[in-house]
A and B are shown apart, each in its own frame.
Chain A
């Protein structure tokens, strides 16, 4: 099961929620940083990273001796990566999306296959839970690279590969998505089976959350919502508006994570809320354990759990699917019983 964490607004809490869930996840899972333009999961999970593997896109290179200046490549290119200037094609490799169309239409075979570096992929292992190591996969865009979807597709190939299945001990993949609703966010959402929208109930957060919902609901994914920074002083109306919207749109609201200065201060130092000190850390650990359970039950199917009944086990046929997803936990409970 691939679960992506997305939001319209940047800074809504995607990374905090994804990384905190990975910390409390009841069995080993892979966590993927798909925010390739600004990856930051590693700052919180502190993995030992393997060497970076560069990822390339095939782009055209002109063989001027073979070129007949027919212009077919420039006509084919929808992205202005090839333009007829001064009667001959000029190639702008930075603009190429790698569709390969120009190679197909070049009758004299005057285009050679060159490469543009998109960025890199990096595997790592982290062990903030002292009893086990978990896998992390990070995509990192090259500085100056304008396109992230081709790198994101390489990221998906990496975590869908048989080698990855061997290296990761469980089938669960948590994906920290890029913010926004443009190509990077949509490309990442399409990799997922289920999408968690992390929403902030501020006016700006609400506006972008609605945009994100409008965009993501067209993908036909299971969508759910986690409200972050709930109960901010003076923002009761914002919280209520977000709850009303979710109710009206049939979006299950799986958690209301409270606005908490102590958690914010810890985060600014690179500490995840469930790993914070004392009662505060324990409270956050409990919140994310509840969210993890609610999430697994929600993925299992309706009825969607609400916060009030996160302690109850819904008795539906779909529950078995939820148990399969979280069978590490389910099996453990069954053994105890």
Chain B
């Protein structure tokens, strides 16, 4: 069962060019920010060239409500196909799904570079439900 699921996610992954990792800092050495909607920022990685770009998320951090939805909108407008984070709330998850993005959760506690490696090696599976 897990093999079939892994194969499906690998097939989906091959189409994804850009992934966004919630991050406490601007580079691959930075720690994954466990929060999605109120993450400090995102390291956006092109999985072909491995070029990185940092997207500040400060405007969403200070929102009274709707931080996760706005963050999903921001990443969607950048053409991101998959999101790697720690915990994703129900509204953010719905928003990411509506935008057609895959969600990978519980990748906190490591560097952004390590999280990207988990993704490219296929050792993590996309989430089917929010974990917060």
Contact = CB atoms under 8 A, between A and B. Distances in A.
Contact of A80 (B69, B76, B98, B100): B69
Interface in B62-82: 63, 65-66, 69-70, 72-73, 76
Interface residues of B, number: 14
A95 B63 CA distance: 13
Interface string A74-111: 00000111011110101010110000000000000000
Interface of B: 63, 65-66, 69-70, 72-73, 76, 91, 94-95, 98-100
B65 A86 contact: no
Interface of A: 79-81, 83-86, 88, 90, 92, 94-95, 146
Contacts, number: 40
Nearest to B100: A86
Contact of B73 (A84, A94, A95): A84
Interface of B is mostly: helix
Nearest to B96: A85
Contacts of B69: 80, 83, 92, 95
A94 B73 CA distance: 18
Contacts of B100: 86
Given A92-B91, A95-B91, A85 B99 contact: yes
A92 B91 CA distance: 7
Contact of B95 (A79, A83, A88, A94): A83
B99 A80 contact: no
Contacts of B95: 83, 85, 90, 92
B76 A92 contact: no
11 contacts: A79-B65, A83-B70, A83-B72, A83-B73, A83-B95, A84-B73, A85-B72, A85-B95, A90-B95, A90-B98, A95-B91
